[in-house]
Structure 1
Amino acid sequence: MYLPFLLSLAMVGLARSSGCGRDIPSEFPSPGSSKSLHLPGTDREYRLYIPATYDKNRPTPLYFSFHGASKDMLEQEELSQFSNPEFNKDGIAIYPNSKNGYWLSNPKADTSRPNDLDFTNDLLSHMEELLCIDSSRVYSARKSNGGGFTIVIACNATVGSRFAAFASVSGAYYDNDETPGIGPCAPAQREKGYPFLEFHGTIDTTAPIDGSTSKNPKLPTIDILEGWAERNGCGHDAKWAQNVTVFENPLVKHAIWDCDGKNGIVQHYREGDNGHCWPSTVPNDDYTSHPDQCPLGKYVFNATEYIFDFFAGCRLEV
């Protein structure tokens, strides 16, 4: 596999949060398990996983995993497998819950305050206050509507600047320039850019890879990729540096953008014969519940494995 955008880890120190040295709060799950919780002072829910290897004195990476439209945090934990030590050996995983089944960017989302950007920002601060988080290694991954919300977070100068990298699976990318609570994409400037990884099936009819002109139009995936390549210094309508075949049957192509000295800063997997599904080498809920979208029953690679490999090479300078 092509290596993701790499930072020199020897030059980047661990960014210890204020929660380092504190015992795990009694209401949190014990190491090696998950638990559903409420963010204090709000009606917002989330599910938290703490790895068995957690050490209150060692800064730990934090992985956000956001569910798709009409789904929830429990389904996303099972689908993304971010609590599975096979993929996530030592990181904390957090599964935020939307207010009404939809994330900001979807026209059906509940935009009342605290809206989803406030919620994400406050939830991250809550984790950093109570657990030993490496603030240079906070990541965001999502499915479908959650994938579109990844873009909303990355485009927000306040919230997006706190995440080291982003990944989207079968993202539903609405045109959000004039959506209340979002506005145009205006990320904070940072020297190391915004690493972005995207997966999309060629037969996706829920969030078509080439976009749609339905009642709630969705943007083509290539527009999203070229937009992030441009923001990372590749220039307008930037084309990939490489576009290689990684699997022949089904055909999987891997496109890679190298921008302004940042190798692999934007990457994309184009999944032949796959629809609105989280790629997995074993059957998951997408494949069992939606055989029309996921006709193969499983896939030739694990998106979760690729996401963690990509995130491993990305850190913030804090």
Structure 2
Amino acid sequence: MLTSLLLPLALATTGAARSLGCGREIPSKFPSAGKSAILHLPGTDREYRLYIPLTYDKNQPTPLYFSFHGATRDMNEEEELSQFSNPFFNKDGIAVYPNSKNGYWLSNPSANISLPNDLDFTNDLLTHMENLLCIDSSRVYSAGKSNGGGFTAVVACNATVGSRFAAFASVSGAYYDTDNIPGVGPCKPAKRKEGYPFIEFHGTGDTTAPIDGNTNSNPKLPVIDFLEGWAERNGCVKNAKWARNETVMEDPLLRHASWDCAGKRGIVQHYRESGNGHCWPSTVGNDDYEEHPLQCPAGKSAFNATEYIFEFFRDYRLRL
């Protein structure tokens, strides 16, 4: 059960929503600007990794990016994988990498055994960040890889937690039936004018979270079903087809589909990379390519998913 209360926000003249942490010095236990460190959420046994950009200003509301790791991975690996702490992609935002309780996030059947309170943890961690750092609460975003990408959808589905995030991204997501997850309940995001922007990346050669889904003991939804579900939640009719399906590059083949729903152009987007597998697309390589090469048979990608994610996020903010 979610226990945190949404805190009042003051709107700056710039349109940014200043959190209660604005004007405060960076807490002594936090990393200094330009660095990251492992921390514990007070009053809990939960860990997270925090990155504060070199450009951080205690009086300037700053975007906040959550990045959730995949199954059996951890917060340290996710920082290396997603590159959300890399100034090349993230010039001025704070990044937080939550750590799961037992290596799995809610939605994965292995997490459902112990039912870790991941939604409360996410909600409380966001409140903690807003209380102690100068966060632009209209620009809070969630992304994740594999089980972390699936959990990002669980966050979006929750009317309390999801309503605090402006947009969502998933890379090689493992999408279980979000209407039948123990301890979570059906997907019922809170209604809001800006909708729930969602961008998704998948390789056609993914055997861990197959793009067409699977029906084994831990069945996963086909990616198209997942995308059409979010299109419907954003105001499209049920099973609505994309408004555009374009070729971004020929070799390797990269396709881009997007949905326009209720006047919101490109509110749901999908990049489909031919040949590659269960990896986070990167032109320079990352932990997926170095430590799990069999998952990435095509090798390094011809594009950076992180760059595309940040470009997508920049288009969205909450109306607070």
Given the two structures, how large is their TM-score scaled by the length of structure 1? 0.95
1:75 pairs, out of 77, 80, 101, with 77
Letter in 2 for 1:213: T
**Distance of 1:261 and 1:169 partners within structure 2:** 26
What is the CA distance between 1:11 and its match in structure 2? Answer: 10
Residue 13 of structure 1 pairs with residue 3 of structure 2 = no
- Residue 33 of structure 2: aligned partner: 31
SS in 1 for 2:51: strand
Letter in 2 for 1:128: E
**Distance of 1:111 and 1:94 partners within structure 2:** 26
1:209-249 per-residue CA deviation (whole Å, 9 max, x = no partner) reads: 00000110000000010000011111110110000000101
SS in 2 for 1:234: coil
- Residue 235 of structure 1: aligned partner: 237
**Distance of 1:291 and 1:112 partners within structure 2:** 31
What is the CA distance between 1:12 and its match in structure 2? Answer: 7.4
| Contact 2:39-2:49 within 8 A present in 1 as well | yes
- Residue 58 of structure 1: aligned partner: 60
SS in 2 for 1:236: coil
- Residue 316 of structure 2: aligned partner: 314
**Distance of 1:296 and 1:112 partners within structure 2:** 36
**Distance of 1:194 and 1:249 partners within structure 2:** 32
- Residue 138 of structure 1: aligned partner: 140
What is the CA distance between 1:178 and its match in structure 2? Answer: 2.5
**Distance of 2:162 and 2:174 partners within structure 1:** 18
- Residue 7 of structure 2: aligned partner: none
Residues 216-225 or 294-303, more deviating: 294-303
**Change in CA separation of 1:12 and 1:208 when aligned onto 2, cut-off 3 Å:** farther
2:93 pairs, out of 79, 86, 91, with 91
| Contact 1:104-1:111 within 8 A present in 2 as well | no
**Distance of 2:292 and 2:55 partners within structure 1:** 35
2:255 pairs, out of 253, 256, 268, with 253
1:155-208 per-residue CA deviation (whole Å, 9 max, x = no partner) reads: 000000000000000000011323221111000000110000000000000000
- Residue 205 of structure 2: aligned partner: 203
Letter in 2 for 1:299: S
More relative contact order, 1 or 2 (CA 8 Å, 6+ apart): 1
1:136-165 per-residue CA deviation (whole Å, 9 max, x = no partner) reads: 000000000001001100000000000000
**Distance of 2:143 and 2:116 partners within structure 1:** 21
| Contact 1:117-1:159 within 8 A present in 2 as well | yes
1:107-147 per-residue CA deviation (whole Å, 9 max, x = no partner) reads: 11167576000000000000000000000000000000001
What percent identity do the matched residue pairs reach?
78
- Residue 42 of structure 1: aligned partner: 44
- Residue 212 of structure 1: aligned partner: 214
What is the CA distance between 1:296 and its match in structure 2? Answer: 2.3
| Contact 2:115-2:182 within 8 A present in 1 as well | no
Residues 81-90 or 177-186, more deviating: 177-186
| Contact 1:169-1:198 within 8 A present in 2 as well | yes
Structure 1: gaps (5+ residues): 1-9
2:190 pairs, out of 188, 193, 203, with 188
SS in 2 for 1:76: helix
**Distance of 1:15 and 1:156 partners within structure 2:** 22
Letter in 1 for 2:279: C
**Distance of 1:27 and 1:111 partners within structure 2:** 33
CA RMSD across the alignment: 1.4
- Residue 6 of structure 2: aligned partner: none
Aligned residues, how many? 309
**Distance of 1:152 and 1:309 partners within structure 2:** 23
**Distance of 2:16 and 2:161 partners within structure 1:** 20
Letter in 2 for 1:222: I
Letter in 2 for 1:105: S
| Contact 2:112-2:183 within 8 A present in 1 as well | no
SS in 1 for 2:234: helix
Residue 304 of structure 1 pairs with residue 306 of structure 2 = yes
Letter in 2 for 1:152: V
**Change in CA separation of 1:293 and 1:135 when aligned onto 2, cut-off 3 Å:** same
**Change in CA separation of 1:114 and 1:221 when aligned onto 2, cut-off 3 Å:** closer
What is the CA distance between 1:264 and its match in structure 2? Answer: 0.7
